[in-house]
Amino acid sequence: MNFEFPVGFHEFHKNNLINFQMNRWYSTGFLKYKELNEAAKRINSFNDAKKVFKDIAEKSVIKSDWLKGATYLRAAEFFCLGNDPEKPELYNACIKAYRRAYADEPIIYEKVPYEKGYLPVIRIMTKKNSKGWILIHGGYDSFIEEFYFFCESFVDAGYDIIMFEGPGQGAALNHYGMTLTHEWEKPVSKVLDYYNIKDVTLIGISLGGYLASRAAAYETRISRLVMYDIIYDFYRAVMYKTSKALQLIIELSLPFDSSIVWTLIEKKISTNLFAQWLVLQGYHIFGINTIPQYYKCMKKYNTRKISKLITQDTLLLAGEEDIYTVFFKKQKKALVNAKSVTGRIFTKDENSSHHCQVGNIKLVLDYILEWIEKRR
């Protein structure tokens, strides 16, 4: 399957979260601009988004347009909030469609035993003399199936690829009930043990930038680390534009599960679609159900203390319009023991200034590959 990535970040929708996600799926090349633009006109809420994307997905599946159907099912699942009973149904339908879409691809589906379940794996082996292994995982809301298009350039360049889902992701969460852990070295080590890998490049996508950093701090078999993107401090990045006074009130209230503060914050969150999705998705992946629990979980996801333990060749990626980029300089400065540190902030002129360079995926994939080739 030859993937072609359209270049450009478009204004499909007035809401930033909905617009970013529509651009995210458009940037893969699987969905058409005109259809997304028309769909956006029918969306005024998360529930609208779920219904609209589900409707297009079902029509695509009827036509056996499996990749398009899978992508729209993924979009519909993304906008299922909290305990929406349709979420598991849409997830299962999405994965089934992805399997049909990739039926002729050189994918090996495997499972690595972990705790009381399994870590799902997609393995792709190069047809050339192998240059080594690249291990890829996502972050806050990812399925490995939706990252398959990342692999083509790496495989063509001579690398063997393993993509896996850890606790809190994909089937590890939805089929085996494993919730997200900040101790990401544990699932990474299990995968390396299972395949007897001694030397690997690790790429963590989105919140996976933190997860991969954590793994690299404690796992010496990781030789090269790619933070795609950087997540120096998840909690403080999300809270960055919140007033100092409100941040202080939240900090003082964290020890108390019951407080009028949380009632007021819940009301505030309900008026902001991004905050609403972030929290309710957090409930789902962390296995929690209150605002203070959510904030406490977020605080675990930072690299302030572990950055000094990272000794690998390290690549930092960020977009100039991304909320996490405010900590780019701090993250770079904190890597005092890294073998080498390379950093790049992608710009609006490059159509890659947003989170994970949505708008110009090929640019960032080419840059990662070039860096790996230099650091081998």
Residue by residue, what is the 3-state secondary structure of 257-290? CCCHHHHHHHHHHCCCHHHHHHHHHHHHHHCCCC
What is the pLDDT, as a whole number, of residue 4?
A: 86
Residue where one domain finishes, among candidates 271, 299, 327? 299
Same domain for 190 and 92: no
Task: Express as a percent the part of the chain with pLDDT over 70.
Answer: 100
Angle at 371 between CA 365 and CA 372, to 5 degrees: 90
Residue 3 counted as domain residue: no
Q: Are residues 220 and 332 in the same domain?
A: yes
Same domain, 255 and 194: no
- Return the pLDDT at 325: 96
For residue 30, being part of any structural domain is answered with yes
Task: State the burial class of residue 313 (Cβ atoms within 10 Å of its Cβ: 0-12, 13-18, 19+).
Answer: buried
pLDDT of residue 219: 98
CATH number of the domain that residue 64 is part of: 1.20.1440
In a shared domain, residues 161 and 203 = yes
- 66-115 pLDDT per residue, tens: 999 999 999 999 999 878 899 999 999 999 999 999 999 999 999 999 99
H-state helical runs in the chain: 16-26, 33-40, 46-62, 66-78, 86-101, 151-156, 170-174, 185-195, 208-218, 234-238, 244-253, 260-269, 273-286, 291-299, 328-334, 361-375
pLDDT at 1 over 80: no
pLDDT at 368 over 90: yes
H or E segment at 121?
strand 117-124
- What pLDDT score was predicted for residue 247? 82
State the Cα–Cα distance between residues 165 and 173, nearest whole angstrom: 9
Would you state the pLDDT for residue 273?
84
Q: What range defines the domain where residue 85 resides?
A: 16-101
Domain C-terminal end among 248, 267, 299? 299
pLDDT for 300 beyond 90: yes
Q: Does 269 lie in the same domain as 195? A: no
Cα atoms found within 13 Å of the Cα of residue 200, Cβ hemisphere only: 27
Mean of per-residue pLDDT scores for the chain = 94
5 in a structural domain: no
Domain check: are 270 and 138 in the same one?
no
Q: What is the pLDDT of residues 244-293, one digit of tens each?
A: 888 888 888 888 877 788 888 888 888 888 888 889 999 999 999 999 99
Residue 79: inside a domain: yes
In sequence order, which residues have a C-beta less than 8 Å from that of residue 313 and are 6 or more positions away?
223, 224, 225, 338, 339, 340, 342, 375
Give the per-residue pLDDT at 213. 98
Residue 41: per-residue pLDDT: 95
**Which amino acid is residue 266, in one-letter code?**
E
* Number of domains the chain contains: 3
The pLDDT score that the predictor gives to residue 344 is: 98
pLDDT recorded at residue 108: 98
Full-model pTM: 0.95
Res 140: pLDDT: 92
pLDDT at 253: 84
The β-bridge relationship of strands 222-228 and 313-319 is: parallel
Same domain, 282 and 350: no
**Domain limit, last residue, from 101, 122, 141:** 101
Asked if residue 178 and residue 257 are part of one domain, the reply reads: no
Instruction: Give CA torsion, residues 358, 360, 362, 368, to 10 deg.
Output: -70
Do residues 229 and 241 share a domain?
A: no
Residues 196 and 207 both lie in one domain = yes
Per-residue pLDDT tens digits for 215-258: 999 999 999 999 999 999 999 998 887 888 888 888 888 888 77
Structure confidence at residue 354 (pLDDT): 97
168 and 42 part of one domain: no
Q: What is the mean pLDDT of residues 345-373?
A: 97
Strands 117-124 and 222-228: unpaired
Digit-coded pLDDT (tens) for 113-159: 999 899 999 999 999 999 999 999 999 988 999 999 889 999 999 99
Tell me whether residue 318 is in a domain. Answer: yes
pLDDT exceeds cutoff 90 at 199: yes
Position 245 scores a pLDDT of: 83
Q: Is residue 208 part of a domain?
A: yes
Give the model's pLDDT for residue 242. Answer: 80
